[in-house]
């Protein structure tokens, strides 16, 4: 859940036309046909001919979010429209973070089978730096503006157009989010013996090494403390909320237009000298 911390702003109410108030219904569905996945759709930026896939229709979000990895692939003439943000974002646990910027884009949603059934609106996106399988999240106010009715059970969204009701089917997230590669997690006894602990089961590839001279009882107690306080550590970039990029990221002060070249001859000469010395 992502929400904006806005001060002194009054709530805006949408005014709908008659064609926007057409009743929307979904067909009955059998229990074996139900979908239990997020509603993921694709939209277009019509004036640029761009498609943005993996957009999550998130009814719990109060802000339209575009992730940085999506923003980077926008054309240069679109990225220059990024402006300073005017709000801070608040996450599920209450932490606040400052977005990279705000960008306005004309977004169009169209029916899967009939592209003529489409609607477009000027949408504010806040660009954030965070890891996600999605490219963007659509907030509840946008859903209200388009009169979108999502149905997770059907895996569909429907919304009115001046012609008739448009329908967009959700993408299968199993293909988009990728598969989880199983990791061989050693037993507690093996971890105590090797003095290398897994302190966060969500990140089994990141391990903590402690002193091998400690007793088995002390190692076990320390392992329990690390597991109970795993949230204290920053396991990935998105855990470091509020840390400026200039501090968290190392950057070489070199000419970005130059291509790095490895000096193979010098590398081979060093390896040969090491072999002769040995």
Residue 185 CA: distances (Å) to CA of 139, 178, 193, 223 = 38, 21, 14, 15
Structure-model confidence comparison of residues 177 and 91, the more confident one: 91
Q: Is residue 265 predicted with pLDDT exceeding 70?
A: no
Mean pLDDT of the region 80-93: 80
Q: Per-domain residue ranges for the chain? A: 3-176, 180-253
Is the pLDDT confidence value at 68 over 60?
A: yes
If phi > 0 it is left, if psi is from -120 to 50 it is alpha, else beta; for residue 196 that is beta
DSSP state at residue 88: E
**May I ask the CATH architecture of the domain 3-176?**
Beta Barrel (2.40)
**Whether pLDDT at 199 is above 80:** no
Residue 104, CA atoms < 13 Å, CB-side half-sphere: 4
Separation of alpha carbons 175 and 161, rounded Å:
30
Task: Please give the Cα distance from 93 to 89 (Å, whole number).
Answer: 12
DSSP-assigned letter for residue 19 = G
Rounded to whole angstroms, the Cα distance separating 7 from 42 reads: 32
């Amino acid at each position: 859940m992502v929400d904006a911390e806005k001060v002194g702003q009054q709530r805006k109410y949408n005014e709908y036309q008659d064609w926007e108030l057409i009743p929307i219904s979904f067909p009955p569905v059998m229990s074996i046909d139900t979908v239990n996945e997020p509603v993921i759709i694709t939209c277009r930026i019509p004036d640029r001919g761009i498609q943005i896939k993996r957009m999550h229709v998130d009814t719990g979000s109060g802000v339209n979010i575009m992730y940085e990895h999506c923003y980077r692939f926008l054309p240069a003439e679109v990225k220059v429209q990024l402006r300073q943000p005017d709000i801070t974002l608040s996450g599920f646990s209450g932490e606040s973070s400052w977005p990279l910027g705000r960008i306005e884009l004309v977004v169009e949603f169209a029916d899967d089978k009939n592209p003529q059934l489409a609607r477009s609106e000027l949408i504010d996106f806040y660009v954030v730096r965070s890891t996600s399988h999605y490219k963007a999240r659509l907030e509840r106010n946008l859903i209200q503006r388009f009169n979108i009715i999502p149905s997770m059970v059907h895996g569909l969204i429907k919304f009115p157009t001046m012609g008739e009701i448009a329908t967009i089917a959700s993408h299968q997230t199993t293909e988009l989010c990728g598969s989880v590669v199983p990791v061989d997690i050693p037993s507690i006894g093996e971890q105590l013996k090797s003095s290398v602990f897994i302190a966060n089961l969500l990140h089994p590839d990141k391990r903590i090494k402690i002193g091998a001279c400690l007793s088995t009882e002390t190692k076990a107690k320390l392992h329990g403390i690390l597991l109970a306080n795993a949230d204290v550590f920053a396991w990935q970039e998105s855990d470091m909320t509020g840390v400026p990029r200039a501090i968290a990221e190392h950057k070489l002060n070199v000419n970005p237009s130059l291509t790095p070249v490895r000096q193979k001859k010098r590398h081979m000469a060093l390896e040969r000298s090491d072999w002769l010395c040995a």
